Structure 1
Amino acid sequence: MTDDRPRGGTPPLAVRHRPFELVLTRPLGTARGEIRNREGFVIAVERGTGDCATVGLGEATPLPGWTESREACAAALDGLSTPASDEAVNDALDAETTPAARHGVSLALADAAARGSGERLSDRLAVEAGVDAAPADAVPVNATVGDVDPAETAAEAERAADDGFDCLKLKVGARGVEGDVERVRAVREAVGDSVALRVDANGAWDRATARRALDALGAFDLAYAEQPLPADDLEGLAALRGAGGAGVPIAVDESVAARGIDAVVEAGAADAAVLKPMALGGPDRALATALRARSAGVDPVVTTTVDAVVARTAAVHVAAAIPDVSPCGLATGPLLDGDLAPDPCPVAGGRMPVPSGPGLAGDAFDELRRS
């Protein structure tokens, strides 16, 4: 009889996954098109048997354009053998080609390890990454407003401000520059000067359009313009820094996944880096990228790919492990019409609490672990 256990006697893992689909309350308009639904996989890894078993939970929710396709994600997960060693599982998943699959499994492994040691996930992530400061108990978050007409954009922004958000992100780039200027002007007039405004073009502009847009949008005191140019144009992004209207800071998102944080830093292409754990291949990789950015003077901001509750909760832990993190794009749960489980991190006053643990959120996801 073959002994499947790796050296050291660590019991092998049982790995299972099941699909899910969630729809948005309404389409989220972006420069890349509308996001109408989210399809992904709940992943569970189990070590041990019976009452001694420890089950870790993860989520792989691909978003083509940021991650692999659903089909590629499914194929990667289907390729995992059961039982399997930790090393075999990690070796089978490539963060470059199948980041969502790697995110789901690495999260499940991290959740299992944290639960086994009685730690919050954020505490374990911080220790493993060498962060000296204790993780926060709550993280600041921004509200996201999709591409809608100026009046509706202003109304959504005003509702968010009334709910306690002091930072808003507006999707731009799906219409002409003049239309986006009108939308941002309407928001600034609706919420006043005390609310920070970010815009996100998702790489929709060319260099000339981006310069024209920033020259106009700079009048509204933007915190930053996110991905105003395509992901690969690091030279163009570097040229925009400080040159567009009133020196609008530049943030990158897609550029991090496409080129890596080191290339962004070396090019001088960003003032801030927007980090999606799902697109970067896991909470561990997202935190490492955040710390590398911070060390280079680039402000890290954690956000989601409009994920379900398991991945959103993990992203909250990542953000909490970053000392003095800026408002993050994690308040995306209300965009979904239903979810996998009740949210253990409800937004209140523009902040999201970090579950006390152990693992992701104590027993909040126990039903998912059993399914």
Structure 2
Amino acid sequence: MRRRSFALDLERPLATARGTIRRREGELVGVDADGVRGVGEATPLPGWTESLDDCRAALDRIDPDATLLDGPPTDPLSAAPGVADALADAPAARHAVESAALDARGRRDGDALASLFADAPADRVPVNATIGDGAVDETVSATKTAVADGFDCLKVKVGVGELDRDVARLRAVREAVGDGVAIRADANGAWDRETASEAVAELAALDLAYLEQPLARTDLAGHAALRGRGVPIALDETLATAGVGAILDADAADVLVLKPMALGGPARTLAVAERVRAAGVDPVVTTTIDAAPARTAAVHVAAAIPDVRPCGLATASALATDLCPDPVPVVGGAIAVPDGPGVAGDAFEDLL
């Protein structure tokens, strides 16, 4: 198994509840099989995954001669229990190893990753545009630009200012784009229960696709109480805290936002997507602002989910630079799924 450290600056600093992110750092992992190399990416994001130091420590524990290609695509590390144990508490590290094993297997056998997961995966994945927390005029201008670029799903950031301001912004967006464009609002856990309840009452008339993470990540009961009132509720940050089972048991979500880096790999993410879909909850795949290898693998996961909603995979522009040319550019509000073999043919061949 080969490794390489990397660091990528963001196009602009990103403010989060855990501080401001200015760069993404991680590890690339390479797995060789019959003359081809699979590449996987670990880009930890504390709060979602282990720290960078813990990620590297987990990768250090792996036997470099471990056999990684004998497990089924749906559970590629099952034939290497020692590897799986070493990565049990390190989802980003596990993501890298699982991705590399799947990429190597696909490249060896001539199969695209999505085809390892599904008999008839989609050849394009719809994606949403993300609209920042600007003033009304700025927000409307950004939405018009996104729609002109082919996006028919917009995610508007809310929760930074007063609720009245956000309601005005979202009303202006709906008036600007009409009924044919889906609008999501993402509060990133900014509201208390009273504010969130008022927001749902105010926004129900706007036919939102969903309201994402209106309350703190730990408030399962509060999110459950918001459901069924005219605005579907999506959970994102809560998944890292509560886990899938607790969310389903609490009936706390209509939609779950799935990040393969935080869930421990592409196959694990697809398994979660199938589990929540069976429970009547819709999955949406997104990233933790990853580099090209992880972002591309996430596109394959989304392609393997039947009738997937628009996903949060249009994130390459958040990086000032990337590890290689983008194999999954956004065109007309969608991403064409690479047809392989592996994750993206030989696109990552020279990274290790």
- TM normalised by structure 1 equals 0.87
Amino acid at match of 1:21: A
Aligned partner of 1:341 in structure 2 is 324
Please list, as runs of the form range in 1=range in 2, the aligned pairs for 1:99-248 lying within 5 A after superposition. 99-126=91-118, 133-243=119-229, 247-248=230-231
Residues 27, 188 of structure 1: alpha-carbon distance in 2 compared, 3 angstrom cutoff: farther
Determine the C-alpha separation between the residues in 2 that align with 1:72 and 1:187.
43
Q: Is the 8 A contact 2:37 2:349 kept in 1?
A: no
Residues 45, 179 of structure 1: alpha-carbon distance in 2 compared, 3 angstrom cutoff: same
Aligned partner of 1:273 in structure 2 is 256
Amino acid at match of 1:98: A
Determine the C-alpha separation between the residues in 2 that align with 1:166 and 1:23.
29
Aligned partner of 2:42 in structure 1 is 60
SS in 2 for 1:288: helix
Q: Is the 8 A contact 2:47 2:240 kept in 1?
A: no
Amino acid at match of 1:93: L
Determine the C-alpha separation between the residues in 1 that align with 2:305 and 2:51.
29
Q: Note if 1:92 corresponds to 2:86.
A: yes
Following TM superposition, by how much is the alpha carbon of 1:33 offset from its aligned partner in structure 2, in angstroms? Answer: 5.3
Aligned partner of 2:76 in structure 1 is none
SS in 1 for 2:161: coil
Of 268, 271, 289, 2:272 maps to 289
SS in 2 for 1:197: strand
Following TM superposition, by how much is the alpha carbon of 1:118 offset from its aligned partner in structure 2, in angstroms? Answer: 1.0
Following TM superposition, by how much is the alpha carbon of 1:338 offset from its aligned partner in structure 2, in angstroms? Answer: 1.5
Residues 199, 259 of structure 1: alpha-carbon distance in 2 compared, 3 angstrom cutoff: same
Unaligned runs of 5+ in 2: 69-79
Determine the C-alpha separation between the residues in 2 that align with 1:34 and 1:190.
32
RMSD: 1.8
Aligned partner of 1:355 in structure 2 is 338
- TM normalised by structure 2 equals 0.91
Q: Is the 8 A contact 1:167 1:197 kept in 2?
A: yes
Following TM superposition, by how much is the alpha carbon of 1:29 offset from its aligned partner in structure 2, in angstroms? Answer: 4.8
Sequence identity percentage: 61
Determine the C-alpha separation between the residues in 1 that align with 2:151 and 2:48.
26
Residues 186, 31 of structure 1: alpha-carbon distance in 2 compared, 3 angstrom cutoff: farther
Q: Is the 8 A contact 1:90 1:106 kept in 2?
A: no
Following TM superposition, by how much is the alpha carbon of 1:82 offset from its aligned partner in structure 2, in angstroms? Answer: 2.2
Q: Is the 8 A contact 1:17 1:77 kept in 2?
A: no
> Aligned residue pairs: how many?
340
Amino acid at match of 1:265: L
Following TM superposition, by how much is the alpha carbon of 1:227 offset from its aligned partner in structure 2, in angstroms? Answer: 1.2
Following TM superposition, by how much is the alpha carbon of 1:31 offset from its aligned partner in structure 2, in angstroms? Answer: 5.9
